[in-house]
Amino acid sequence: MKKAVVITGASSGIGAATAIHFGKQGYFVYLMGRNKDRLAEVAVQCRSGASLMSCDLTDLAALNKRIAEITSTTIHKVEVLVNNAGIFDVHSTEQGSDELWQKEFEVNLMSAVRLTRAFFPYFKQHGGGSIVNVSSSLGLKPTAATSAYSAMKAAMINLTQSNSLEGGAFNIRVNCVAPGIVDTPIHQFHSLEEEKRNAAIAQMNPMQPLGRIGTAEEIAKAIYFLGSNDHSSWTTGAVLAVDGGITNT
Q: What is the C-alpha to C-alpha distance for residues 138 and 72, in angstroms, rounded to an integer?
A: 36
pTM, two decimals, is 0.96
Q: Which residues are catalytic?
A: 149
Single-letter amino acid code for the residue at 64: N
Judged by average pLDDT, the poorest of 80-84, 98-102, 198-202 is 198-202
Is 190's pLDDT higher than 80?
Answer: no
Q: What is the C-alpha to C-alpha distance for residues 205 and 150, in angstroms, rounded to an integer?
A: 21
Is 170's pLDDT higher than 80?
Answer: yes
- Count the Cβ atoms, other than its own, within 10 Å of residue 172: 24
* CA nearest to 178, candidates 80, 106, 245: 245
Q: What is the pLDDT at residue 194?
A: 83
Between 29 and 189, whose confidence is greater?
29
Q: What is the pLDDT at residue 187?
A: 78
Q: How many residues does the chain have?
A: 249
Q: What is the pLDDT at residue 210?
A: 98
pLDDT > 70 in the chain, percent: 99
Q: What is the C-alpha to C-alpha distance for residues 164 and 7, in angstroms, rounded to an integer?
A: 19
Contact 66, 56 (CB under 8 A): no
Helix (H, G, I), strand (E, B) or coil at 73: coil
Q: What confidence tens digit (pLDDT) does each residue in 199-232 have?
A: 889 999 999 999 999 999 999 999 999 999 999 9
* CA nearest to 118, candidates 173, 68, 49: 68
Q: What is the C-alpha to C-alpha distance for residues 51 and 190, in angstroms, rounded to an integer?
A: 27
- Mean pLDDT over 58-65 rounds to 96
What are residue 117's phi and psi, to 5 degrees? -60, -40
Domains and CATH numbers, the chain: 2-248 (3.40.50.720)
- Mean pLDDT over 80-93 rounds to 94
